[in-house]
């Protein structure tokens, strides 16, 4: 019982893993932000291409 308690106290005091955890969380947040912004950019470019195509269609119809 004493060894478990001692190991638990050592585990709580040990902060070596906290730096790795911070880097992991930073990477997760950065990755999520990159994915979200990529999706927003994709949607925006898709809408821009669609509007451009519609405008070109209207211009071609007006020329005919």
Residue 12 has pLDDT above 80, yes or no: no
What is the pLDDT at residue 30?
Answer: 96
Average pLDDT over residues 12-39: 87
What is the pLDDT at residue 11?
Answer: 73
What is the pLDDT at residue 21?
Answer: 79
Residue 19 has pLDDT above 90, yes or no: no
Average pLDDT over residues 8-29: 81
Taking the C-alpha atoms of 19, 25, 27 and 28 in order, what is their torsion angle to the nearest 10 degrees?
160
Residue 56 has pLDDT above 90, yes or no: yes
Instruction: Write phi, then psi, for 14 (nearest 5 degrees).
Output: -75, 125
**In the 8-state DSSP scheme, what is residue 15?**
-
Half-sphere exposure of 8 (CA within 13 A, CB side): 5
**In the 8-state DSSP scheme, what is residue 14?**
-
pTM: 0.56
């Amino acid at each position: 019982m004493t060894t478990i308690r001692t190991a638990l106290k050592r585990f709580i005091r040990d902060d070596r893993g906290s730096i790795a955890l911070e880097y992991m969380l930073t990477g997760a947040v950065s990755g999520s932000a990159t994915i979200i912004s990529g999706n927003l950019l994709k949607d925006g470019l898709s809408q821009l291409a669609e509007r451009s195509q519609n405008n070109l269609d209207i211009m071609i119809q007006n020329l005919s």
